[in-house]
Amino acid sequence: MLTLCFICQLVQAASDSRSYQLPNAILSSLEKNQISPDAMGVSVVEILQSGTGKPEAKIVLDWNASKPMNPASTMKLLTTLTSLEVLGPDYRWRTNVFTDGVIHQGVLKGNVYLQGRGDPKLIPEELAKMMQALQNLGIQKIDGNLIFDRSAYAKSVMEQSSIDGEESRAYNVSPDPLLYSFRTLSFNLGKSRTADFIDITYTPALSQFTINNQLRVVNQYCDNWKKEISFDLSNNHQENIGDTALLASFSGNFPSGCNNAGYNIVAIDANTFLTKGFSAAWELAGGKWAQAPNGQDGIVPLTARPLLQFEGIKLADDVQDINKFSNNVMARQVLLTLALEKMGKPASVENGDVVIRSWLKKMGLQFPELVIENGAGLSRNEAISPEHMNQLLVLARNLPTGDILYNSLPIAGVDGTMKNRLLGQLRKFLHLQKKPEARIKTGSLSDVRSISGYVISKSGRMYAVTSFINHPNANRGIEAQDQLLSWLLEDGPEPKQAR
C-alpha cells in the first residue's frame, strides 16, 4: 500500500535528517513570554516528490514531537479528514419530514414530524428550501403541531455542558440531530445613518420574537463595548401576544465609534428555538398556521407517512466552515455522523472514536496516545502528539480528499482564524511572482495554543508543521509559533544542531 510505504519512508528518514534544537528566535520568544521550552512540542516534515513520482518525506525538526499534548481545535483535522475519507466529500445529511395527517385542499391536517440525522449546517437559507419543498407538495396551511425526533443521537451527547461555564457562548453549543442555525441568536448593532440611535437586526428569523431597544449612543471608541451593554430575554406578556412570545431587551451605552458590531448568544432552548425558526420560515414562505405550534419531543410513529427527505449541504463544504472558522458544534456532529453511519443509532462519541481508530489502522497509523472526547478539541482531555498529527498531514497529501482538506485550512493574512497573522512577514514576499503561503489550522484554550497545517516556502518547498504549547502562559505563545511559521516561509536554516 502506498500509504504504508510512505509513512515508512518518513520514519526511516528521521534518524539522519531531523534537528533537535528549536531555532533561536523561537527560544528567545518563549523565554521572553515565560514559557518553558518543555511546554512546546514541534514536528516539521518536508514533503518531497522524487524523480520516480513516489512521495518522500524528510523530518526537519523534532522537538518533544512524541509527547502526548492537548491539541485544542487542531483535533478537527483528524475528525474532518476521517469523515472525508469514510463518508466521502459528496456526503449530504438528510432531514426527514413525516406526517400523521392528510393534505386536503391545501391544508395539512395533522402533525409534522422532523426526524434529524445531525445536519451541522441547517441554516435559514436551507430551511427556506425545505419550506419551498413542502409547498411544492400542495401544502399552504398546517393544522397541527411540530414534533421533533432526535433519536439519532444518544441523550448523553445532547446534554448541555461546557469546559469554562460559559453556556451562553456559541462555541459551547451541544450537538443536536435537529440543530438549527447553531442554536445561536446573532444580533447586529450599528448606528443608524439617519438618526442618533442604534439599529438592531438579528438572524435567524423567529416567530413571536420582539426586540426592546433601550441602547444610548455615547461618544466613545469601540473598545470593550460589550461590557457597557446589558441583554435580557424574557416572556413578552403584552396583550394579544401569546404566552410563547419572547422579548429581547438591550440597554446601556453603545459607543458611537462602533458599527456593525456582532453580538452572539445562546439563550433559547433547542425546542423553542427550532419551533420559532420553523414557524418564521414557514410564514416567510407564505405558509399559514391554523394555530401556532408549540414544538414537542417525540418519535415518528410507524403509521406516519413521509412527506419529503431534505438533503443539506455537502460534507466538503461543511469541512470548509469547520476548519476555516473552527466551528466546534459542526465538528462534533461530524464525529457523531461517523458513528451513526457506520455503527447505527443512537450515535455516541465512543462509537465515533471506534470509527476513527479503525480508519487510522486501515491507513497503517497507530496513535496509542490519542484521546478523543468530542472530536472538536473543545476539551481538557483530548490528546495527540505533534508527531502523529504531522503524520496525518503528510498522509493527507497522498489521499484523494487531501486537496479538500488543504483548501479548508485558514490562509495566513487572508481568511479564517489566520486572517490577521503573519501580515508583516508576508509583506516581505510581495515582490515574488509565486508567493509563499501558510495554510494553518489554529487552536486555543486558556492554557493551549496550537497550529497544524502546511507552509509553502519562498523557494517552493512544502512543509507539514504542527506545534502545541501546553502552559499557563500559552496565550503568549502565538509569537513563538508565528516565529516557527516565519522560519519555514524563509526555508529555515540549513545547519542542524545537536540537542
Q: State residue 7's pLDDT score.
A: 54
Cβ 229 vs Cβ 255: under 8 Å: no
Q: State residue 324's pLDDT score.
A: 98
Residue 29, pLDDT above cutoff 70: yes
Residue type, 363: M
N-to-C CA span, the chain: 35
Share of the chain above pLDDT 70, in %: 92
pLDDT one-digit tens code per residue, 128-139: 999 999 999 999
CB hemisphere CA count around 380 (13 angstroms): 7
In which order are the strands placed within the sheet that holds 246-255? 209-218, 246-255, 229-235
Asked if 184 and 243 sit in the same domain, the reply is: yes
| Residue 266 is assigned to a structural domain of this protein | yes
Asked if 328 and 356 sit in the same domain, the reply is: yes
| Residue 49 burial by Cβ neighbours in a 10 Å radius (0-12, 13-18, 19+) | exposed
pTM listed for this prediction: 0.93
Asked if 38 and 116 sit in the same domain, the reply is: no
| Residue 499 is assigned to a structural domain of this protein | no
Question: Cα torsion for 333, 335, 339, 340, to the nearest 10°?
Answer: 20
Range of the domain at 455: 2-90+315-489
Asked if 304 and 322 sit in the same domain, the reply is: no
Q: State residue 484's pLDDT score.
A: 98
> DSSP letter string over 390-429?
HHHHHHHTTSTTHHHHHHHSPBTTTSGGGTTSSHHHHHTT
Q: State residue 238's pLDDT score.
A: 53
Question: In Å, what is the CA distance from 333 to each residue of 1, 88, 193, 352, 375?
Answer: 31, 16, 41, 10, 9
Asked if 32 and 172 sit in the same domain, the reply is: no
Tell me what the mean pLDDT of segment 191-195 comes to. 71
CATH of the domain at 434: 3.40.710.10
Asked if 369 and 283 sit in the same domain, the reply is: no
In which order are the strands placed within the sheet that holds 112-115? 296-297, 146-149, 112-115, 92-99, 305-314
Tell me what the mean pLDDT of segment 107-135 comes to. 98
Q: State residue 234's pLDDT score.
A: 93
Asked if 374 and 269 sit in the same domain, the reply is: no
Give the number of domains in the chain.
2
pLDDT one-digit tens code per residue, 230-267: 999 999 765 544 457 999 999 999 998 888 899 999 99
Last residue of a domain, one of 293, 313, 333: 313
Q: Cell 428550501, residue?
A: 129
Asked if 302 and 255 sit in the same domain, the reply is: yes
Asked if 298 and 399 sit in the same domain, the reply is: no
Residue 355, pLDDT above cutoff 90: yes
Last residue of a domain, one of 313, 328, 361: 313
Tell me what the mean pLDDT of segment 292-316 comes to. 97
List, in sequence order, every residue forming a beta bridge with 265; answer none if it has no partner.
Answer: 185
Last residue of a domain, one of 285, 313, 341: 313
pLDDT one-digit tens code per residue, 423-481: 999 999 999 999 999 999 999 999 999 999 999 999 999 999 999 999 999 999 999 99
Instruction: Tally helices (H) and strands (E) across the chain.
Output: 13, 20
Q: State residue 161's pLDDT score.
A: 83
| Residue 32 is assigned to a structural domain of this protein | yes
Question: In Å, what is the CA distance from 183 to each residue of 22, 167, 264, 330, 402?
Answer: 44, 12, 10, 12, 31
Asked if 333 and 424 sit in the same domain, the reply is: yes
Best CA proximity match to 185, nearest among 235, 124, 254 = 124
pLDDT one-digit tens code per residue, 368-396: 999 999 999 999 999 999 999 999 999 99
| Residue 290 is assigned to a structural domain of this protein | yes
Asked if 75 and 100 sit in the same domain, the reply is: no
Asked if 119 and 174 sit in the same domain, the reply is: yes
Residue type, 280: A
